Amino acid sequence: MPYLAFDLGAESGRAIAGTLREGRLTLEEIYRFPNEPVRVPDGLHWDVLRLFHEMQEGLRRAVARYGTGLKSLAVDTWGVDFGLLGERDVLLANPYHYRDGRTRGLMEEAFKVVPREEIFSHTGIQFMPINSLYQLLAWRQQQPGLLSQARTLLMMPDLFNFFFSGIKASEFTIASTTQMYNPRTGTWATGMLDKLGLPATLLPAINPPGTITGRLLPRVARETGAGEIVVIAPGSHDTASAVAAVPAAGPDYLYISCGTWSLVGVEVREPVINEQTLSLNFTNEGGVGGTFRLLKNVTGLWLVQECRRTWERQGEALSYGELTALAREANPLTTVIDPDHPAFLNPEDMPAAIQGYCRETGQPVPQTKGEIVRCALESLALKYRWVLEKLEDILGKKLEVIHMVGGGTQNELLCRFTASATGRPVVAGPVEATAAGNLLVQAMALEEVESIAEAREIVRHSFALKTYEAVKTGPWEEKYKAFVKLLG
């Protein structure tokens, strides 16, 4: 009998059924729907009711396929965004998209009240203007009236969980993305929030990943035809689910979860909160099975996604496959960018932003689509190497192998570049790591899988993986030096 995962990413959402049989997990994509943010005068929002509508449609189709045999469902989404519920649980506004510009400058405002080091020592989370902490500050500053009506803050997956089950609760992995959670005390960082004048009373209780939060609301069960299925909080943060499904056997590996973002890091038992991780702006997000993810957010295939969207707008719609083919033909290692430069967070015209950066840094300006995409992919691989080196330094050991998981691993060029830039073998796959991790944590919650180690063994047996050999070359070494200089 299958479990059902809802995996929502920045571009699309999917309902994926997973069946566990004799130590193997098989996946079936039941339904896929677009996730299209909507810009209205006050800002950029997620169309959250439409998303829930689509998720119910996914459930309906899963019921049509499997009858009432579904065991459970669980939702994972991206991090940091949330909805506010008011009296009688009314959703007070459409949740904002983390790329909305209203948090600009608020990190610096916060530091005036609680210094950067102190925020880090409370939370262990890297500083990004998108973090829920600065979004909540934006609410206080820009919509205090509405905020004062709020009773509960629910992170995106917690909000969908509430829509499905009627239960208001948070989950550890998604709570950790807020920069409002203290991993040392295991509670919300209320002292810090008080100092910032933020209402900690909005924050619900936090459950560990793999908690059965409740049952489907009778109305949802009736409308979708689903029977008595339970609602589970998996690793509700998509990256937590993806990393739970890294098919690693040994301990010394780097993972890269590749999608709109590239999350580059290692799994640790305790958060690493010290001067080094603070100055490198690394993060310690909550993981599954009592782990933390010491990692760095690297702007991932967003660079290419946005180029594609810009060219589409200009009447030249190309697929990712076509763009990668053009990149393959372009000259290698000509120009590099820092993918995490603020200019790339949400520009109106990504190709122009990339060209502008190259011009300003005195490099040859990529002209063709192939040149621009190649520059983006090579720069990502170089940034991965930079993170790898820093992590090896922090941990005092060599990370022998890189596991790349997620949709981005379908881009073979990126996997190959990563092996060349780092001089480490890259094991790519599974593409569906997030869904697999979500489903396997459901199996753990229902006591059908014992541990993360067992879950990873199941992943190793269930999916085809592709290895890219390590081939360090002179030109990559040269370019890496130039890249490091660029980072300053």
Residues serving a catalytic function are 238
The dihedral through the CA atoms of 443, 449, 450, 455 has a sign that is negative
d(CA 120, CA 276): 11
Contacts of 259 (CB under 8 A, 6+ apart): 9, 10, 238, 300, 301, 406, 407, 408
Query: Do 469 and 425 form a contact (C-beta atoms < 8 A)?
Result: yes
Q: CA–CA separation, 177 vs 173, rounded Å?
A: 7
Identity of the residue, 71 or 237, whose beta carbon is nearer to ligand LFR in the bound complex: 237
Q: For ligand LFR, which residue of 46, 78, 82, 302 counts as binding (CB under 6 A)? A: 78
Instruction: Pick the closest to residue 417 from 345, 354, 480, 356 (CA basis).
Output: 480
Tell me the two tokens of residue 256.
């890269």
Nearer to ligand LFR, 216 or 428 (CB): 428
Fill in the per-residue mask, 95 to 114: x = in contact with ligand LFR (CB under 6 A), - = not in contact: ---x----------------
297 near ligand LFR, judged by CB under 6 A: yes
414 binds ligand LFR (CB under 6 A): no
For ligand LFR, which stretch binds (CB under 6 A), given 57-65, 85-93, 100-108, 253-261? 253-261
Residues 7-66 that bind ligand LFR (CB under 6 A): 9
With both helix axes pointing from N to C terminus, report the angle between 369-395 and 350-360 in degrees, rounded to the nearest 10: 70
Of 301 and 358, nearer to ligand LFR (C-beta) is 301
Torsion sign over Cα 62, 63, 69, 72: positive
287 binds ligand LFR (CB under 6 A): no
Specify which residues 266 forms β-bridges with.
294
Phi, psi at 345, each rounded to 5°: -65, -50
Q: How far is the CB of 134 from ligand LFR (least distance, A)?
A: 13
d(CA 79, CA 99): 12
List, in sequence order, the alpha helices (H) in 270-313.
275-280, 302-313
Min. distance of Cβ 300 from ligand LFR in angstroms?
A: 8
Residue length, the chain? 488
Q: Which helix (H) or strand (E) holds 240?
A: helix 238-244
Closest to ligand LFR by CB, 168 vs 296, is: 296
- The yes or no reply on residue 299 touching ligand LFR (CB under 6 A) is no
Site string for ligand LFR, 447-486 (x = CB under 6 A): ----------------------------------------
Which residues, 158 to 197, sit near ligand LFR by CB under 6 A? none
Neighbours of 303 (CB within 10 A): 24
- Positions 222 through 241 that interact with ligand LFR (CB under 6 A): 237-239
Q: In whole angstroms, how close is the CB of 461 to ligand LFR at the nearest point?
A: 26
Which of these ranges, 74-82, 137-145, 350-358, 439-447, lies near ligand LFR under the rule CB under 6 A?
74-82
Minimal distance, residue 439 CB to ligand LFR, in Å: 18
**Sole binder of ligand LFR in the list 52, 96, 127, 261 (CB under 6 A):** 261
Nearest CB to ligand LFR, comparing residues 259 and 286: 259
Least Å from the CB of residue 364 to ligand LFR = 32
Q: Is 79 in the site for ligand LFR (CB under 6 A)?
A: yes
Closest residue by Cα to residue 132 from 193, 76, 185: 193
In the complex, the smallest distance separating the C-beta of residue 78 from ligand LFR, rounded to whole angstroms, is: 4
Indicate the SS3 state at residue 275.
Answer: helix
* Near ligand LFR by CB under 6 A: residue from 17, 20, 75, 80: 80
CB of 376 to ligand LFR, least distance (A): 18
Beta-carbon contacts of residue 133 (< 8 Å; ≥ 6 apart): 110, 119, 123, 178, 179, 180, 196, 198
Can you give the binding site for ligand LFR, defined by CB under 6 A?
9, 78-80, 98, 237-239, 259-261, 263, 297
